[in-house]
A and B are shown apart, each in its own frame.
Chain A
Amino acid sequence: MRLSIGNLVIKFNDNPFLGPIEAVFDSGCLNLIVGRSGCGKSTLLKLIAGFHKDFTGAVSLDEDYFEPEGNVALAFQNPESLFFNSSVFEEIAYSLSVSGDNKDSIKNHTESWMKKWGLDPELYSNKYPYKLSGGEKRRVALAACTILSPKIILLDEPLAGLDRVGQSDLAEIIYSLSQEHIVIVVTHEPELLMQKDSRILYLNDKDTAQYSSSEFLSKAVIDNDFYPLPEWYSSTLRSYAQFYDLPMVNAEAVAEYLESYNNESASGN
């Protein structure tokens, strides 16, 4: 599945705000959107979801005109602030229960979706949503937003405000979700979500462009103002940045990269 946006200009009150944007978002890999606060990241998600209608250009799904209708889910920032049910099960099953399906099929569907989000139905179904930890609340909220299993899943800052364990658990789930859905994530922590095959859409009023992970990392390592990656990563890899095959942003990957690079240059001598 591929969602494409072509020659897209986001407008406010008919005035151009950002664009033109060219980008493709595929299922099978994770699609990230990064940029400064206020640059239009969240608005782009709302536009894809059909809430922001002030734009010109085209959005298409697998070459067809894309009509956002029942095929897309958008989770806003801090989605757990919208809990309104007294148990985790009711919260997650809500959209199904209003669809009029029979009870058994709702139960089966909800329980298998909960497992996908790392929420064991036996442990979590009857819990009160507000008594969960930050990471658990976030997973319940995102499971509830996506229970109808739409083709396109849009997440706005899903990792913000979670502790490290919560972040890495959720990052894993989001990645596995991207194998079957078109998942587009707005984030200030691309380094925690990025995989070798991820695509990064960099939004900026001057140089909006879509990059592969390695292009993005090289560009950011060379120019800290383009995108400030963690200091330890940029300073360690600055002299390697021209090679376009930089490792992912974690200690193990960087150590392995440095080792293999040093071995190669030693054998070359």
Chain B
Amino acid sequence: MILFDRVSFCYNANQETSFYLKEVSFSLNKGVINGLIGINGCGKSTIARLIVGLLKPTEGNINFKNDEGTPYYFSGMIFQNPDNQIVGTTIGDDIAFGLENLNLPTENIEQLVVKAASLFGFENMLDMEVSKLSGGQKQMLCIASVLALEPNWIVFDEPTSHLDPWARIEFWNIINFLVTQSNIGIIVISQLPEDINRFQHITVMDKGSICFNDSSEKFKMLNELPKGIDFPEGWKLERLLTKNK
């Protein structure tokens, strides 16, 4: 579980472009797909960066509970555009990069690379150049490289926006696999209504505060939606059809 306890953060204090996260408290659990939504500039990415440790809270604490048993604490992040995240020239190099930075013995690295690669069918393609991969495959490679580090949590920042519709289906299959078959917590940031349809727990942010944090069933029953958020078309259709009956 991730517990935000009165976490505050500010960028560019007292300037025109300043942004504040004000005493935010909420929790997220493993075993469900956690969705984090809100309009541009609401603080989603700040929350994500606080979770993975790219930013430190100015006040308050972020606690990770029941995560004993992992050798070291680590949360990974998958960015929007896979090209910004791939550092290796081959699939094998890219997956090994993070592990090499942890200074693990070579044999361990090789094992962990093969293990992560095999989840995505990359095990026989370790020498393939990353430039030959499709957009969807690049995204999968980024996920494999983060998974190789055995993180406790993974935050995905608008992961589907650069994928074609076939790759989006593959992506959600991977997420469902991780949520049901692994002990990794999953947080997906997205503004796309069709992604909201996949979330099981939804956190909505508005101007640096949390304005909703509950199950997607409860979210679906809201009569008034937070600003700038749209229901998935499928939910709208359900409503229209019940109204017309």
Complex CA distance for A37 and B241, rounded to whole angstroms: 36
CB of B166 within 8 A of CB of A236, answer: no
In the complex, how many angstroms separate the beta carbon of A117 from the nearest chain B beta carbon?
19
Nearest chain-A residue to B161 (Cβ)? A161
In the complex, how many angstroms separate the beta carbon of B59 from the nearest chain A beta carbon?
28
Q: Say whether A57 faces chain B, with CB atoms less than 8 Å apart.
A: no
Q: Say whether B193 faces chain A, with CB atoms less than 8 Å apart.
A: yes
In the complex, how many angstroms separate the beta carbon of A138 from the nearest chain B beta carbon?
12
Q: Say whether A11 faces chain B, with CB atoms less than 8 Å apart.
A: no
Complex CA distance for A254 and B40, rounded to whole angstroms: 30
In the complex, how many angstroms separate the beta carbon of B172 from the nearest chain A beta carbon?
10
CB of A236 within 8 A of CB of B40, answer: no
A37-B134, A134-B40, A160-B161 are known contacts. Are A251 and B169 too (CB-CB below 8 A)? no
Q: Say whether B228 faces chain A, with CB atoms less than 8 Å apart.
A: yes
In the complex, how many angstroms separate the beta carbon of B141 from the nearest chain A beta carbon?
14
- Cross-chain contact of B135 among A37, A131, A232, A250 (Cβ < 8 A): A37
Could you tell me how many residues of chain A have their Cβ less than 8 Å away from some Cβ of chain B? 30
The contact string, 1 if C-beta is below 8 Å from chain A, for chain B 78-97, is 00100000000000000000
Nearest chain-A residue to B16 (Cβ)? A131
Residues of B within 8 A of A264 (CB): none
Residues of B within 8 A of A254 (CB): 233, 237
> Which B184-201 residues have a C-beta within 8 angstroms of A?
191-194, 197
Nearest chain-B residue to A249 (Cβ)? B233
Residues of B within 8 A of A35 (CB): 164
Residues of A within 8 A of B244 (CB): 255, 259
CB of A188 within 8 A of CB of B165, answer: yes
- Cross-chain contact of A164 among B167, B193, B240 (Cβ < 8 A): B193
CB of A252 within 8 A of CB of B240, answer: yes
Complex CA distance for A258 and B244, rounded to whole angstroms: 11
- Cross-chain contact of B240 among A231, A249, A255 (Cβ < 8 A): A255
CB of B161 within 8 A of CB of A163, answer: no
CB of B166 within 8 A of CB of A228, answer: yes
Chain B residues with CB under 8 Å of chain A are: 17, 39-41, 80, 134-136, 158, 161-169, 191-194, 197, 228, 230, 232-234, 236-237, 239-241, 244
Given contacts A38-B134, A164-B192, A165-B39, 16 further A-B contacts (CB under 8 A): A36-B134, A38-B135, A131-B17, A163-B39, A163-B40, A164-B228, A165-B230, A188-B163, A231-B234, A232-B234, A233-B233, A233-B234, A250-B233, A251-B239, A252-B236, A255-B237
